[in-house]
Structure 1
């Protein structure tokens, strides 16, 4: 399974929208490079600062065992499990 889950959250880390895409979709990362790495990776500092909201949402999403272990191999069934979990997460 080489699918990536992309998400948009509000300021509280609640999921607003999400979609799945193939792994090699040309998305630029917004994370720092390691200090031991010889070449530095350019990143947007503003986007990196607000990245914790996305991490909070994915942490809550992984509390759902079905999503964390990816029982559903079909992308459509997996996306529907994520939709159910994010609906509950949004209202809690």
Structure 2
């Protein structure tokens, strides 16, 4: 979407831990998160052993959870409060999601990322790659 400062962009990220990003993608600020999340899951592909996948509530849709299960992941995401049939999830595991949020906070510490000076997506993507490398080496 467009704000006073210009067009907005969302960063979607899959991370192994608080310092290691596996893959990421950009989407327009007005687009929903779930389709991008499914694309990232498809890019990762299936896993050989069951692996916990901690997701934000924006990715809690039935399609995204089903895809995660089909690929061998164990989705750890709380249901939205208006769900008619909520499910159980590992609350202790979900608390570890803050590590990924801290990675986002460190990325936003780079002025070029939080203010999005770059007009071209390729330049913005390149700087995000650079910032993730810097964070991994710290």
TM-score exceeds 0.5: yes
| Residue matched to 2:68 | none
Which of 66, 91, 99 does residue 53 from structure 1 map onto?
A: 99
Q: In the TM superposition, what are the counterparts of 1:1-92 in structure 2 within 5 Å?
A: 1-22=7-28, 23-25=30-32, 27=34, 29=58, 30=60, 40-42=81-83, 45-46=89-90, 48-92=94-138
* Aligned residue-pair number: 87
- Larger CA deviation: 49-58 vs 18-27: 18-27
- Larger CA deviation: 71-80 vs 3-12: 3-12
- Show structure 1 runs of 4+ deviating over 6 A: none
Structure number with larger C-alpha Rg: 2
Asked if the contact 1:32/1:41 (under 8 Å) is kept, the reply is no
- What residue ranges of structure 2 are gaps of 5+ in the alignment? 1-6, 35-56, 61-76
Q: Which structure carries more helix by proportion?
A: 2
Q: Deviations over 1:45-85 (max 9, x none)?
A: 44843421221111010111111111102111111111111
**Relative CO higher for 1 or 2, CA cutoff 8 Å, sep ≥ 6?**
1
- What residue ranges of structure 1 are gaps of 5+ in the alignment? 34-38
Q: TM-score, normalised by structure 1?
A: 0.69
Asked if the contact 1:13/1:57 (under 8 Å) is kept, the reply is yes
Shift in Å at residue 21 of structure 1? 2.9
Give SS of 2:14's match.
Answer: strand
